[in-house]
Structure 1
Amino acid sequence: MAASLRFRAALLLSAMALLLTAVYAGEQVTTCDWYALNIHRLHCDHGVINVEQALYGRSSSLICHEGKSHQELANVRCAQQGTFDKIKTRCNGKTVCEVGINDLRNPDPCPGTFKYLQTNFTCLHAFTSVACEQSEAYLYCDPQTVIFVYGADYGRRDRVTCANKRQLKAIENTNCLHPTDIVASRCNGKHSCRIAATNYLFGDPCVGTYKYLEVSYTCHSPGSDLKNGYFYAGEQVTTCDWYALNIHRLHCDHGVINVEQALYGRSSSLICHEGKSHQELANVRCAQQGTFDKIKTRCNGKTVCEVGINELRNPDPCPGTFKYLQTNFTCVYAFTSVACEQSEAYLYCDPQTVIFVYGADYGRRDRVTCANKRQLKAIENTNCLHPTDIVASRCNGKHSCRIAATNYLFGDPCVGTYKYLEVSYTCHSPGSDLKNGY
């Protein structure tokens, strides 16, 4: 009987071991070194990358073995020194990271062995702060918690961020990446932190390009374990009103923005207080009327939204008080429909559900959408934003809806620009609560 119990216990432990082996909490990406320009790509649908292991070389004869000789696979103790540090520095704190394998080939760690790059990583929840060049990033945690920076970059990796009213030549270089540990060294362990996005502090990785500082961080109790990140059901972005052209940026890694609260003014003496007098912080009942409606109209239904604080300053709600813009929002699941000018958007839900529109815009905010065979002059104006509630008024509550993307219906926010209609919506049971999305 005892032997039988021991045998069954051994079987149970073996099954548990197999289960634990099969279930891996993180992600693993392997890229075989087949081609000269192979790209190793890490991606988080939600959260930011946290690299745990990285190997360029070979630790198994079974990986990337197709078509290779025994001799090319025999050395399973081949590892390029510094790979982990390089991948970690390049990728930590980002939602997407691409590394060229040719960055790791020299010196060759084991000539004659066919190699691969393999990275294990997890996706951690994080706040993201973006500061355009010549402005400041402001990192903030509640008084009971402190800042921990996952990663920071100064430069440019897309043509969308901090592109408002910039010429194409100032934003066209997207191969301008400069990871930095300056933010971590200055901000880790503090409740709040200001850091200027300037060439003086970070150097200039691409002269002539208008850059930005992008920081991903979390708030944690001092001494707590950060392996699984810090959980927060929503997002909060705070932008201090330090500079004339400060940009307030909301972003969803997954889903679309749903603004829940927005304040331009001051509701706390602890936020954006550095270097300010008691008099400038004393009024904690300062709020610009209409801020919530403006941010909601501008940002709801988008994955990325940028608002210039100068749009909220007039009239000044409390002269003499130092103000900030703070937005609380969630990222909600949504369908997206895009219709190029002179075509139709078609929104559709199953018969048991109906349409609910989160947001809609007619105009242009990038040079990629609806750009096929269009001349540059027809797509170069990306400061052409026209939020509209026409789609919601015509489509909400219906099972399906067709709506034409035309100037006749939406007006012409930018004459001469080829526009498109972008709609984000969900399908829900009539009468259901949509506060947290569908």
Structure 2
Amino acid sequence: MASGCLRLTTAVLLTATCLLVIGVDSADKITTCDYGHWQVHRLYCDHGVINVQQALYGRSSSLVCANDKPQKHLANTHCAQPNTANRLKKSCNGKKLCEVSLEDFRKPDPCADTFKYFQTNFTCLPAITVVVCEGSVAHLHCGFGHVIDVYGADYGRRDRTTCSYRRAAHELENVDCTHPTDLVAKMCNGKYACAITASNTVFGDPCVTIYKYLEISYTCQFVDSADKITTCDYGHWQVHRLYCDHGVINVQQALYGRSSSLVCANDKPQKRLANTHCAQPNTANRLKKSCNGKKLCEVSLEAFRKPDPCADTFKYFQTNFTCLPAITVVACEGSVAHLHCGFGHVIYVYGADYGRRDWTTCSYRRAAHELENVDCTHPTDLVAKMCNGKYACAITASNTVFGDPCVTIYKYLEISYTCQCKYLILRLIPISQSAAICAVS
């Protein structure tokens, strides 16, 4: 008898699992010709949950849904109902099944006398789904070294069978009571575990007299250990600095103000430490917009001081953040950034910036005046909108695409992204840093 043991890192093992264990849903395109009043556009994932990439209600081709239609009703191929993709994402992202009525997209008519259709490109993301009946508590949790990332959540009712045991018929009759909510994401994202009650008190009541349920889809993202950075506000040019040795910044919580009488308390009179309910509104969202997806981020406290959230209180800036594993791409102005993932994986963009924040990047043979503004950071969600869910993506670093945040300055595009497995990985045993596969023969 001989025995041997092959030791694999987490990344290698997960990749092998992706490639060998479970089949993948390729990107889907669904087209519904608009033949009648009650036409329904239906998206469905065998495995995982819906992630809408593009959507059109109108016409962009003279060949689609063209059977038996006169040419004059097919000629206008520049017809599109505005905001269709965003509305569909809000309704469908994070669900296994989603049906929308074309009636909701017909008015105002984007092109009279043109025969229209609804067409959607979407992918299926691997996800954990939790359903809890009204009055119960949803428990979301991830294994060691992973945090929650919510794809979508709905509070209401969309069928007559879920949470129906011993319920009267009139409590189940409204199955068009879907109420997408971002509250679960706000409460749970970035945490190792989270509990949230399915109740009208938390989510409001989208359909009175109907017995409702909360449906959540989420995934567990790998993270490095969480860091807490505190900067005491001693002066005008104080800078709050976040940095990742490996990966990119993912802000969880941030405070400018005071929530403890012990933090930054040295040599300060008690009266200036007493107010522990002081917080500048929207600090976390502003910091996420500035820092998420970057390896290094520095923000001036000056930008958060006005209006003063609590006069006569000595304040500090405190941030909890994690470092997410990421691929970083930098493309100089005029060049093309190429994002790509291996077989069975799709792109997920953490963040992107177009501008300049140092003197050295993309500086070869550039005049000094083209590099002098290093406070020209312009976060953009355009890369995420164009590339998320795709196997490969190319985007040009140019003012035409992103606008010009600093005229006369030579800029660059910096992108951080990861490759997410498109396979539905079913309840793997938690892995910390490595796993051993031993064979005995």
TM range (shorter): 0.3 to 0.5
Higher relative contact order (CA 8 A, sep 6+): 2
Instruction: Give TM-score scaled by structure 2 length.
Output: 0.46
